Every structure is written in structure tokens, then in C-alpha cells.
A and B are shown apart, each in its own frame.
Chain A
Amino acid sequence: MDEGPQDNMAPTLSELQKMMQAWVLRGELDPRLEESIDPIGLTAQERLQIHSNNYSLSLKQALADTFPLVQVFLGEAFFNGLAGEFIKKHPPKEPMLSEWGGDFAGFTQDFEAAKGVAYVADVAALEWAIHVSANARDEALYEPASGKPAKMANSAQLVKSRWPLMMLWMAGSGQIPPEAIDMDAAPQNILVVRKESAVKLHIVSDADCANYLKLLGSPSELTALLKAGQSPLNGEERHLFVAA
């Protein structure tokens, strides 16, 4: 194959990719990148904008897929604005978008325009916990007779909240009408548990939260309690404990 025309002005592939990245992430258009594009009836920038749009729209959709209730509470326009700012601040580092979005709840909490709906950050935290639980490694349940140590399942995720989070969840997912939400109701912490493939949510008290966190950090104490036949936590305990 011919080497092709020698074009000493053309950027190398590496240079081109750095310039494209700067355009997609920050809207910075390097004149060398602009000059290298054949406009074919449009401007180079108009052609580059197609890729910027692909990037932005696809990531906004990914966030909407992971945080559908946040979009319900904020509305599509506000959510898209929030998502756009999040994408600029926290672009994905890996091709697995399933691992992107862990910073979204914290970002929402600090987002000035969302200060009036502060509970939405906790809804985002809950949705992320559900997402993590749903995709966590499958683990064998703990069997006391096995003699093996126990630990908390990777699929168990705790969300502490100062809001009536279960009520918000049920309203956002259409299980109760929005007017049933009582924002002055007692706070609700939620423990997300996965039983086989199904994710379930359980309200847990502050005392159980503290106990859960203590046992999370002390598998030996957990194992001892389970071997003694004691119930460390209330609720659906069987799927919380797995073989270490």
C-alpha cells in the first residue's frame, strides 16, 4: 500500500485525539483540529458538535436510567441541567457506565439550584445503592454449620437519611400518590438487600444502622453472633450474611 501524501502539517493520531478530547470535554477547539476536518457543506465545528451531542445526550440518558426517581422529582428540564453540570465535573473514566454515577448524590446535595429540594440528594443516594446492590457479586449465603466465617453481603447497602426516604421512594415510583408524602414524618434509613436477583428495601432504625455499621467492620463479631443463633439485625437477615 502506498504511504500516501506526506502531510507534515497534519496532526499525528495522538495529537488529534488529545484535541478531540479537549473539544468534547471542554468545548475547546484547537485551530489544528478545525483545519484537519473536511467540512463537506457544514463547518468543522458543526461536524464536531455532532460528536459533542452524542457524548452529552448518551451520558444524560445513562444518568436518567440509573436515577429515574431523581428525574421524576426534579422534572426533565431541571434533571438535564443538573446532569449536564455533573457530566462536566465528573466525566466517566471507564467504558463501563455501570460504575459511573457514585458521585451524583453528593453533587446533587451541593448543587445550588437544588438546595430547595434537599431531599432529592437522598433519593439519588438510594437509587445509587439500589444500582450497586443489583449489580453486586453473587455470593453464597452463610451457613453456620459450615464452620466458615461470615461477612455482610456485598449486595447489602445502607442509606441513612433525615428525610422520610421510603415514603419518597414509594411516591416517586408510583406506589403511593404524591400527596401522601409527609415531609415532617420521621426520618427513614433504608437497608437495600438483594435476594437472588431481586432488590428489596427495608426501613431500619438508627440503632440498627449503628449495629449494621459495627458488624460491617467486625466480621468476627458477626460470625460469633450468628453461630450463637442470635439475630444481629431485624428484617430480612438471611440474605445479609454470606460466607467470607
Chain B
Amino acid sequence: MSTHKPAGEILSSRRCGISLKADHYQAVLTSRPDVAFFEIHAENYMVEGGAHHHFLRDIASHYPLSIHGVGLSLGTADGIDSGHLERLANLIDRYQPFLVSEHLAWAADNGTYLNDLLPVPLTTESLTIIADNIKRVQDRLGRQILVENPSSYMAFKHSHIPEPDFLMELAAKTECGLLLDLNNIAVSASNLGTQTDCWTKTIDPALVGEIHLAGHDSRVVNGVTIKIDDHGSPISPEVFDLFNAWIARSGAVPTLMEWDSNIPALDVLVQEAVKVDSVIAHQAKQQSPSDG
């Protein structure tokens, strides 16, 4: 059983967490970096035994743990796969994470897993289906989950609910929390030609249980620049600006520096977390100048 602090204590310590990668297991245990928590991809630990669990058990005894799923497919019209939900429930029972999250997306349908976070049209029908899926998941897990805004590469003509409003409605219908991914907001706005300020105007900060920050790549498709959410580089200045603005308005919550591809040395992730910490600390000073 992890001896981690409750989320409230993590919040008050104003520190950033990082992604836990297998490349870094030994370095984490040896160097014990000063990060607030580690986040894992749930599906990577849905194996029965071996080194992944050996190291995770040890690391989770020293750090709070956040479990982030990518395969539950909250957006599937035919409903959540029972087997996968049970696997997630078992993992959560085993490690008692302080946060559990998934995506506003779908990936599985009719016995095939498409290994991507595919978009859902933002309609009343989708809202009803996804709310039912979230309720089922929370009922089975016996806890709240956070739902993350994904990166978008396309939009549907028949979508009629803006994405921030869609997430707010999901929270109202299900009492789920929100995971605000500021990199995904930047990527989606660029790819779809939308603005980012609707998010700060619409999202209730009290519902945001976690923030994700990450880097992204760009490629040109037929003369149009498309940003790709690859989590393979440092946080961009644009995303840092969004984070600064969000923290200034809404205060700090557990924040993850996300890095999932082109994995660098552990020190690089830790240094990115330090940058995030400094933004949090700076905003805290701005808001409480008498604390000096």
C-alpha cells in the first residue's frame, strides 16, 4: 500500500509530477528525484508480473501515483468493455492511486482496438452515451475519474456543442472531474482554427483535478501545418503561456509534465518539472505577496 500524501497535501506543496517510463526505473530509485508524483499509463501495467510491477511497487512506496488510462474508450457507442474495466479496477485496487483519468475519445469497437484516441462528434447523442459510460466506470471503480480533453485533428460538421461545454455537461451529469490538457488545447486550436480562450471562460476551475503539459510536433500536410500530439519534446512557450494564464486565474492543481516518446534522460524530465514548479511558485507569490 502506498504511503502517499492525499491530493490536498500535494496541491499545497505546489510541485509537478512526471511520467514514469521503464527506461528510468532504476534512476528513479537511485536518485529519488524531487517530483510531486508519478503518472503511469494503465495499460502498460496490465501484465501479470515481472519487472514492471517489481519497480512500480517500489516507486509507489515513495511517491504518490496517478493512473492514466488510454484504452478504456469512454466514447464507444457500444459501451465499455467489461474485461478492460475489470483490469483497470484490479490495477487501481493494487496501487491505490490518488488520481485516475481517461480521455474524451474512443479507441475500441466490435472486438478491435484501434490504438489511437479517435474523435467523437460533440452532439447530444454523444453526451448521453459518454455520460452513461463514465457513470458505469465510476460505479465499478467506486471513485471519481478525471476526463481529459484530447488533441483533435478533425471536427465533425454535425458537432453542435463546443468542447469545453461538452466537458462541463459531462461533469454535471456524472460528477466526474476534468483533466485539462493545455498542450491538447493548443494542438486542437491550431489544427481546427479555433481559439483557446473559450476554455478559461467556460471551464470551472473547481472541476479540474489535474493539468497535463507536454510538447508536440508539427508536420505539413498539403501546405497546412498540423500539430501532432506526440509528447516527445519539452513544453512549448505557447503551452507555458496557457499554463501561466490558467494558474493566475484558477490556482494550482496537481500538474503533470508528460513525456511519452523520444524519451530523454530522467534529468531532462525533472528539469521540465522544475520549470513548471517555478511557474506555480511565481503565481503563488503574485497572489500572496505578503508571504514574501
Residues of A within 8 A of B (CB): 1-5, 7, 10, 12-14, 16-18, 20-21, 24-25, 35-38, 40-44, 46-51, 54-55, 58-59, 62, 91-98, 133-139, 154-155, 194, 196-197
Contacts and interface: CB of A to CB of B under 8 A. Distances in A.
A136 B54 CA distance: 12
B157 A38 contact: yes
Contacts of B75: 13
A95 B84 CA distance: 8
B21 interface: no
Contacts of A12: 77, 125
Interface residues of B, number: 61
Nearest to B225: A41
Given A17-B76, A96-B71, A3 B157 contact: no
B77 A13 contact: yes
B46 A96 contact: yes
A13 B121 contact: yes
B153 A50 contact: yes
A138 B50 contact: yes
Given A17-B77, A51-B118, A137-B49, A1 B161 contact: yes
Interface string B97-132: 000000000111111111110101101111101000
B70 to A, nearest CB: 7
B29 interface: no
Contacts of B76: 17
Interface string B39-81: 0000110111111111100000000000000111101111000
Given A4-B123, A12-B125, A46-B222, A51 B50 contact: no
Contacts of A46: 221-222
B1 interface: no
Nearest to A37: B154
Secondary structure dominating the interface of B? mixed
Given A13-B120, A95-B43, A98-B43, 8 more contacts: A10-B121, A13-B126, A37-B156, A91-B113, A94-B71, A94-B113, A134-B50, A135-B49
Given A4-B160, A5-B160, A95-B43, A50 B115 contact: no
B192 interface: yes
Q: Which interface residue of A10, A18, A93 has the most chain B CB atoms within 10 A? A: A10
A41 B155 CA distance: 12
A87 to B, nearest CB: 9
A135 B47 contact: yes
B113 to A, nearest CB: 5
Given A42-B224, A55-B115, A138 B158 contact: no
Contacts of A135: 47-50, 52
A5 B129 CA distance: 18
A91 B54 CA distance: 30
A98 B49 contact: no
Given A135-B47, A138-B50, A40 B116 contact: no
A59 B114 CA distance: 9
B169 interface: yes
A167 to B, nearest CB: 26
A143 B146 CA distance: 46
B153 A38 contact: no
A136 B115 contact: no
B87 interface: yes
A24 B110 CA distance: 14
A12 B71 CA distance: 22
A50 B193 contact: no
Nearest to B120: A13
A138 to B, nearest CB: 4
Closest 8 CB pairs of A and B: A95-B71, A4-B160, A10-B158, A135-B47, A14-B77, A138-B49, A137-B48, A47-B154
B291 to A, nearest CB: 42
B154 A38 contact: yes
A134 B109 contact: no
A154 B126 CA distance: 43
Given A1-B124, A13-B120, A96 B43 contact: yes
Interface string B152-195: 01111110110001000100000000000000000000011100
